[in-house]
Chains A and B, each alone.
Chain A
Amino acid sequence: MDAFAAPRPRRVLPGFGLTLGYTMVYLSLIVLIPLSAVFIRSLGLGWLHFYEAVTAPRVLASLRLSFSASLVAAVINAVFGLIIAWVLVRYTFPFKRVADAMVDLPFALPTAVAGIALTALYAPHGWLGRGFALLGVKVAFTPLGIVVALTFIGLPFVVRTLQPVIEDLDREVEQAAWTLGASPVQTFVSVMLPVLWPPMLTGFALAFARALGEYGSVIFIAGNMPKSTEIAPLLIVTKLEQYDYAGAAAIAVVMMVLSFAIMLGINALQNWAITRHGER
């Protein structure tokens, strides 16, 4: 837009060629060429073998598990993330700053550490696992355990996407709704939700995408039984350990295509939400 609005300013600053050139070379070497290796390697299979590799029952089961567990975890994060973001912006309470900083723990804590900690907690004789065992619920080494790990990993995305939006919410509009006699639920649904749902969906999609590829925190708590608690990233590792490079690459391609589709969806959604918001 800027480019059309005003004549392009003369480049006064030096270093454009150098920095852009360096960026392109480095990007190609570290990201683009290695990434293309995965696609080219999987193409080496030929369409028939590629199709067979990604539709084997064990592969399909792992993809189904990865997608469904990530979806459930992202939904949990969307709901509780909204509550946490709301509380952190709107209310004051003791240790609020600590709580706010702690939201980023899943970003800062190495995934393997999170994995063994959650496993120790939710194992049948662990602090929390014991309680669940009394209720007859097994968490660790079941799909439920995978959801727990993925929920931990995805929490910051929703909270951090929502916080700035809630900070920018116009409180006068809420108060106007109140004074006009709207109930809290009505105010939330018709005044706040229209503004909050686009960032909530963005956070949801980011948490989902992250959960899909997650490995370190999941493999300890998952149990890793083929066809029941084996996630897709683990199956890639297993294929590699069996020297089935092309098979590993094929699963990777399917995962990447699906998660790129999600990222494209996020961008489209964001653009749509911004234009809509602008028109309001």
Chain B
Amino acid sequence: MRRRLLIGIALMFMTLFLAIPLLTVFAQALARGAAAYLAAITEPAALSAIKLTLTVAAISVPVNLVFGVAAAWAIAKFNFRGKSTLITLIDLPFAISPVIAGLMFILLFGTNGWFGGFLRTHHIHVVFAVPGIVLATIFVTFPFIARELIPVMQSQGNDDEETALSLGATGWQTFWRVTLPNIRWGLLYGVLLCNARAMGEFGAVSVVSGHVRGLTNTMPLHVEILYNDYNYTAAFAVASLLALLALLTLAGKSFLEWRQPELRRTGHARQRPKGGKR
């Protein structure tokens, strides 16, 4: 009885807040039929938004991947003073509103910003242009990969690497042949989450983009423009592509958690305090 009641409440809440909004996206996208749907996602502005979104993700994810591996190596493999402060600083972007993230780059590179004069005399566009969008995206996705890799590397310890080194491998050989295969699932997990956020980021990108249609519009921004133009079907059509990406991300995430159950515990919600039971 109690069991049924609790399951009922949980599923009702999840249906109301998760399932119905998701279904709405697809229902609205297809409300005017498949032809209108296809037209909306293949018109030039939509295609250029898709292209920009892919470009931004293709730059920001690898950049944060290199950082994530470096940070995890330093933090997980060595003891040093100020380590916990460093971890807190890496987490900072999670605690900062995306709007403030965008604001930061306007203050630095905008017309009245610190480097605004220099950029203007050299005809370099950062804000209201693609570099600003990339910077804002790198900022909001900054912690994702590092935060997944640190606990994975910590739990594996240094034994494998030390063995490889004592057998005569160089540092790089050890990294490529020992460490990387050991952390591959955690790495993929981080990349997956980082990519989802990079492609879907709205607030930070909206602040720095300047909304130049067909030039600085990512997919989420294109959705906003269409929606504000009362072009609902087209807005939901482009939104449905992002919803598909979200579903693929969730499926990939579940698969990786099935392969490597520890990943669940390190998840993005919050790292579990160390030294607990188990």
Contact = CB atoms under 8 A, between A and B. Distances in A.
Interface in A124-175: 127-128, 151-152, 155-157, 159-161, 163-164, 168
Interface in B123-155: 135, 138-139, 142
Contacts of A86: 6, 10
Contacts of A225: none
Interface stretch (B33-41, B183-191, B262-270): B262-270
A164 B219 CA distance: 35
Contacts of B243: 109, 113
B13 A237 contact: no
A169 to B, nearest CB: 10
Contacts of B98: 213, 215-216, 233
Contacts of B220: 110-113, 216
B79 A91 contact: no
B3 to A, nearest CB: 6
Contacts of B22: 105, 109, 117
B64 to A, nearest CB: 9
Interface string A94-112: 0001011111111111111
Interface residues of A, number: 98
B89 A259 contact: no
Contacts of B253: 101, 104, 108
Interface in B251-278: 251, 253-254, 264-265, 267-270, 272-273, 275-278
Contact of B79 (A8, A127, A212): A8
| Residue from the set A2, A93, A216, A240 with the largest chain B CB neighbour count within 10 Å | A216
Contact of B13 (A16, A84, A116): A84
Contacts of A105: 18, 22, 246, 250
B249 interface: yes
| Residue from the set A27, A112, A168, A278 with the largest chain B CB neighbour count within 10 Å | A112
Given A108-B249, A109-B246, A206-B270, A19 B71 contact: yes
Contacts, number: 285
A157 B271 CA distance: 11
Contact-size category for B: 35 or more
Contact of B100 (A19, A38, A93, A152): A38
A38 B67 contact: no
A214 interface: yes
A249 to B, nearest CB: 6
B273 A215 contact: no
Contact of B242 (A83, A113, A157, A270): A113
A213 B162 CA distance: 44
Contact of B200 (A23, A84, A113, A209): A113
B70 interface: yes
Interface in B184-216: 193, 196, 199-203, 206-207
Contact of B99 (A97, A184, A213): A213
B95 A260 contact: yes
Nearest to B78: A16
A206 B269 contact: yes
B142 A274 contact: no
| Residue from the set A157, A245, A260 with the largest chain B CB neighbour count within 10 Å | A245
Interface in B64-110: 67, 70-71, 73-75, 77-80, 86, 89-90, 92-93, 95-100, 103-108, 110
Contact of A30 (B9, B138, B219): B138
Interface string A1-45: 011000011011111101110110011001111110110010000
24 contacts: A8-B79, A15-B73, A16-B80, A22-B67, A33-B108, A34-B105, A83-B6, A84-B14, A86-B10, A93-B11, A99-B14, A107-B196, A110-B246, A113-B242, A113-B243, A116-B223, A203-B270, A214-B97, A215-B203, A216-B206, A233-B100, A245-B113, A256-B100, A260-B95
Interface of B: 2-3, 6-7, 9-11, 13-14, 17-22, 24-25, 28, 67, 70-71, 73-75, 77-80, 86, 89-90, 92-93, 95-100, 103-108, 110, 112-114, 135, 138-139, 142, 158, 161-162, 165, 171, 174-175, 193, 196, 199-203, 206-207, 219-221, 223-224, 227, 232, 235-236, 239, 242-243, 245-247, 249-251, 253-254, 264-265, 267-270, 272-273, 275-278
